[in-house]
Amino acid sequence: MAQNETIYLAGGCFWGLEHALKMLDGVKETTVGYVNGQTADPDYEAVCSDTTGYKEAVKVIYDAQVITLEKILRAFFICIKPEQKDGQGYDTGTQYQTGVYYIDPQTAAVCARFFAAERLKHPAFFTELDAMHNFYPAETYHQDYLQKNPGGYCHISQHEFAAVKALNQEK
């Protein structure tokens, strides 16, 4: 029987992160959207205004019997540069701030341990770790964007996508 868990990951532009996470065995469902802002029911234009506090994020529902949270976090850190504040690649602004947002204390503890080890690898570290306070799905055209638009812009390199996919071979 599946044991589905949920985590919210903000990795810059949500298009590429969603595409990468869908490569992982055990990821059951993804939804791109906006996490931890101050307004109700934001849209893309409002989020891009740098006035709402929302970050572009991916809601990930995964089968904990198939994939561990640690492996999902490894994939996440393959895709981001935690040294970059308020942006990834050519995308800049508060909506592109990287972060991991949890909904239960057990997930928070796993994330805290993972973050402690990850911080040691970087001279600067701006990736947030916080509880998920609110999440609103993005507009339909953002869902599965790179699947529908394979030539679309993405800050995640083909090498990084391959590294994420290779995580499936690890036990």
Q: What is the pTM assigned to this prediction?
A: 0.96
CA angle 34, 25, 101 (to 5 degrees): 30
Tokens of 6: 């949920």
Residue type, 21: L
Active-site residue, selected from the candidate residues 13, 79, 111, 154:
13
Q: Is 13 a catalytic residue?
A: yes
User: Each residue's pLDDT tens digit in the chain (171 positions)?
Assistant: 668 999 999 999 999 999 999 999 999 999 999 999 999 999 999 999 999 999 999 999 999 999 999 999 999 999 999 999 999 999 999 999 999 999 999 999 999 999 999 999 999 999 999 999 999 999 999 999 999 998 888 999 999 999 999 999 997
* Separation between Cα atoms, residue 124 and residue 32, nearest integer Å: 27
